[in-house]
Chain A
Amino acid sequence: MTGQTAGEGRPFIRIEGVTKKFGAFTAVDNVSLDIEKGEFFALLGGSGCGKTTLLRMLAGFETPTAGRVFIDGQDMTTVPPYDRPVNMMFQSYALFPHMTVEKNIGYGLKHEKISVAERQERVRSILDLVQLTPFAGRKPHQISGGQRQRVALARALVKQPKLLLLDEPLGALDKKLREHTQFELANIQYKLGITFVVVTHDQEEAMTLASRIAVMDKGVVRQIGTASGVYEFPNSKFVAGFIGSINMFEGRISGVADGLATVEVPELATSMKARADRPFATGSAITVAVRPEKISIARSAPPEGTPNVLAGVVQDLGYFGKDSLYRVKLDGGTILSVNSVNSRRGLEHERVAEWEDRVWLQFEPSSAILLQE
């Protein structure tokens, strides 16, 4: 990552063993993570997993029960929100209902020691940036939801914070506006070089926007990585299942040779080969996971000796135009999802496979993921 403070190499944000308890309930459990300057970092997780709570500790609205928070090298654990170089865009936007758009945006500059002219100039240029100049004189209830969202963003940006926190920034928008705004957000982040930490429960949003993603579950960070890192190399069954869809089989390692592990899978009454990127003990329990789009489907059996071949019958079929989703019932009774790109043009009867067709599935050992927990 770029932009580390000269010579020191310390991260811009360091969250160190942070725990937050509400009474007996632990909302955030011993979380440690580093975020670099200029990063677009996403906190991803299901409802109630503690994303907002973690963000609020960065903003200063909650004090950790244990652990410390550093921003730009300074211990900010107990610093109140008004003394932090951080601004937050609230999930509900939290615009001041009695102030115009312009006043809302200018409010935060009241506390900065700058001239009136400069203040007006900054408000004007930010209004321009979010394309709200024609609405400057309106009150929040006189503008639409998407415009409100941009006011909230502008209000936080105008302070030129070192760190901008966004809590489900696009939650209230419809799909089209959402995609447009995602693009705008990425653009603004690129232009201003501010570090963004965004909370979301939408994995697609996290994957399109973020340079790195932290996947959270029940107050714990399960994995931190880039979009392809968490998608292609999940470190646990939870992360594998949470991001995208995946097929999983329980098995036992029966041998490792030449970087390939052989896994006996009782439910399929066969063995599978998977690339072992770390050492595994023979005999240990393991889960083989493979993404639906990594599996190929054909009406004829592949040549003898091809690894990871499974035979079954198409039980269900969804046609989505660019691709099709097959649900194949294997001979052992297990159901597998297979996603196949419709690379050849054709009508129903020309498809790779039909309902009730007998098909052969195959995937490469390098496409299979071995998961221990």
Chain B
Amino acid sequence: MNRKPVFLYSCLCFGFAFFYVPILSMIFFSFNKSRLATVWGGFSIEWYGKLFANAQILKAALLSLEIALLSATLATILGTMAGLALSRFRRFRGRTLFSGFVTAPLIMPEVITGISMLMMFILMAEWIGWPGSRGFTTITLAHITFSMTYVTTVVQSRLSSMDVSIEEAAMDLGSRPWQVLKDITLPVISPAILSGWLLAFTISLDDVVISSFVSGPGTTTLPILIWSKVKLGVTPDINALAAIIVTVVAVCVAIAGVVMYRQEQRRERDVQMALRANN
């Protein structure tokens, strides 16, 4: 009865292969000497060097990063506020409608969001003369609009699982509502806010569709740049760029994972200690 479950193993291998072979082959070919992306011509890191000498790519990367940082931060602030309103206010008129509006962008096709954003900016430019040109500001605004939805959802679900009585306890001890928010609510939900921010950041960083609708001449984000380059054929420098992105993301995820694992372990150890101290 000790037969290996061949079927399960092959499923596992196939699954992993499905996910990781494309990425690994991309990283592999980023060290290709040959100019042709898919023909092996020997090991080299020259494409990485070229990448860092490419002002266009660096500029795009920097722009993407700036947009992502700014939009994620603003989206987190707005999204947290919406989440608080949705879960902590007493019932107010139009609450269901409001929560529907807040979460609608989650299921709206990006193309539609992009077009409507573009239309709005054009109309606004006509009527109030702003925004004069499309670029950094419009992309940031568009990113805030749809990434705050994610923040709201994350924050709201954390708030609804949080014990309301700790907020009441703070109020009972003399804190006014804003002090309760500052001292109790925000610290307690801070992990959710942080993960909301990370979500907003990554969404903004890799967005192509909406950005391409609302970007203007001269403001090319990294994903748009890659997209337009790839249309002319996959080159090893794009492979190198992608390899760097994958590495950075992997490192970030690993660090976050380790930190969380450590925290969890410490917590468990503490609980064990408390239990033992009492018996």
The chain A residues found within 8 Å of chain B, CB to CB, are: 59-61, 80-82, 86-88, 90-92, 94-98, 107-108, 110-112, 138-139, 141-144, 146-147, 155-156, 159
Contact = CB atoms under 8 A, between A and B. Distances in A.
A90 B170 CA distance: 11
Contact of B274 (A80, A112, A143): A143
A87 B166 contact: no
Nearest to B269: A142
Contacts of A139: 270
Contact of B174 (A95, A111, A138): A111
Interface in B250-279: 267, 270-271, 273-275, 277-278
Interface residues of B, number: 25
Q: Of B172, B267, B274, which is in contact with the most chain A CB atoms at under 10 Å from its CB?
A: B172
Q: Of B168, B174, B176, B187, which is in contact with the most chain A CB atoms at under 10 Å from its CB?
A: B174
B184 interface: yes
B124 interface: no
Contact of A108 (B174, B176, B278): B174
A95 B166 contact: yes
Interface of B: 163, 165-166, 168-176, 179, 183-184, 187-188, 267, 270-271, 273-275, 277-278
B278 A144 contact: yes
Given A92-B165, A98-B187, A142 B170 contact: no
B187 A142 contact: no
Contact of B175 (A60, A82, A92): A82
Contacts of B274: 138, 141-144
A207 B187 CA distance: 41
B275 A82 contact: no
B168 A94 contact: yes
Contacts of A95: 166, 169
Nearest to A108: B173
Contact of B170 (A86, A91, A92, A107): A107
A155 B168 CA distance: 13
Contacts of B183: 107
Contacts of A107: 170, 173, 183
Contact of B173 (A92, A141, A159): A159
B168 A90 contact: yes
A156 B184 CA distance: 17
Contacts of A108: 173-174
Q: Of B168, B184, B274, which is in contact with the most chain A CB atoms at under 10 Å from its CB?
A: B274
Contacts of B173: 82, 87, 107-108, 111, 155-156, 159
A177 to B, nearest CB: 10
A193 to B, nearest CB: 21
A9 B278 CA distance: 48
B273 A87 contact: no
Question: Shortest 5 CB-CB distances between A and B: which pairs?
Answer: A108-B173, A111-B174, A94-B169, A94-B165, A142-B270
A159 B174 CA distance: 9
A166 B170 CA distance: 16
Contacts of B187: 98
Nearest to B268: A141
Contacts of B171: 61, 80-82
Contacts of B169: 88, 90, 94-96, 155
A97 B188 contact: yes
B172 A82 contact: yes
Contacts of B179: 111
B166 A111 contact: no
B48 to A, nearest CB: 44
A90 B176 contact: no
A98 B173 CA distance: 16
A147 B275 CA distance: 11
A148 to B, nearest CB: 10
Contacts of A146: 278
B66 to A, nearest CB: 32
Q: Of A96, A108, A138, which is in contact with the most chain B CB atoms at under 10 Å from its CB?
A: A96
A81 B168 contact: yes
Nearest to B277: A144
Contact of A96 (B170, B271, B273, B278): B170
Contacts of A155: 169, 173
Contact of B172 (A87, A96, A98): A87
A95 B172 CA distance: 12
Nearest to A112: B174
Nearest to A142: B270
Contacts of B176: 82
B172 A111 contact: no
B166 A97 contact: yes
Contacts of A141: 267, 270-271, 274
Given A94-B166, A97-B188, A98-B188, A144 B275 contact: yes
B166 to A, nearest CB: 5
B184 A142 contact: no
Contacts of A147: 278
Contacts of B163: 92, 94
B136 to A, nearest CB: 37
Contacts of A142: 270-271, 273-274
